[in-house]
Amino acid sequence: MKPIKKLRNKIFAIINPGKKVYCLYCKKTYRKFLHEGVKSPIFKKYKVAGGGYKLNVQCPNCYSVDRSRLLYLFFQTRTEVYKKPTKILHISPNKEIANVLTGPTITQIVGTIEPEQYMEYNPVRLDVQQMDFKDNEFDVVICCHVIEHVDDDDKAMREIYRVLKPGGFAVLQVPLAINLNKTIEDKTLKTDKERKIAHGQVDHVRLYGLDYFDKLKAAGFRVVRDNPYTNKWLPEAELQRHRLDPIEDVIVANKD
């Protein structure tokens, strides 16, 4: 992070003391969080969960955002990874989440196409479209905000299904357009401007609509959309204190 931005964040933290919002990662509280995200008209048009520009979501101390707090809370309250032996494959990880998936019960393997960016985790080089792991190897696979960057997403989904153990699950978050039935994907686009207009970000090769769940089912998964508000993970006042987005589900893809 640039020095001027770090200074801005420190000043923001000083002038916003309070208890109204709480960061799970650094345990700090504030009157409010920073605004954060990519401003994109198509994200706004189609009501994208897990993407776009959001108010009051980024911790000024550790820089965590709502979607990473959502997953930490999910693993704490909705899974048993901290209670029983769990082998996790974490693909191109969110470092905040990777740092808290530790403990005597957890074995976490970090795989990425760019291992030089994740050296602190002793990563393995990995292409999610063709992984060098045996069948049925992992209890959990985490692949969050990755598949929208991948050329052959169907192949990636099948690979994730293959390496999961029966009875295991994958967490497969993507920017999901709630008001879009069919995924927008145009491989003829050539410029960053064209890709941002069509897909929301210059490095995205598609914008997923609600048919994302059909694609996961076609790969073999049984899909559950676990929403913290609908399923009452915690009292609503506490969820609001974490500044979770009410429209963002955890997308849990089960291998039965």
pLDDT score at 127: 97
Q: What is the dihedral of CA 73, 219, 189, 112, to 10 degrees?
A: 50
Tokens 């959502």 identify what position? 70
Q: What angle do CA 54, 58, 62 make, to 5 degrees?
A: 165
Distance of CA 214 to the CA centre of its chain: 19
Q: What is the mean pLDDT of the chain?
A: 97
Domain range list for the chain: 65-254
pLDDT score at 2: 80
The token pair that represents 9 in the structure block? 């964040």
Give tens-digit pLDDT for 13-48.
Answer: 999 999 999 999 999 999 999 999 999 999 999 999
- Percent pLDDT > 70 in the chain is 100
CATH of 65-254 given 3.20.20.100, 2.60.40.1930, 3.40.30.10, 3.40.50.150: 3.40.50.150
Give tens-digit pLDDT for 193-230.
Answer: 999 999 999 999 999 999 999 999 999 999 999 999 99
Mean pLDDT of 147-162: 98
Under 8 Å between Cβ of 120 and 108: no
Give tens-digit pLDDT for 50-67.
Answer: 999 999 999 999 999 999
Task: In whole angstroms, give the CA distance from residue 199 to residue 48.
Answer: 11
Task: In whole angstroms, give the CA distance from residue 152 to residue 135.
Answer: 20
Q: What is the dihedral of CA 25, 124, 128, 68, to 10 degrees?
A: 0
Under 8 Å between Cβ of 89 and 141: yes
Task: In whole angstroms, give the CA distance from residue 198 to residue 52.
Answer: 14
pLDDT score at 3: 85
pLDDT at 128 over 90: yes
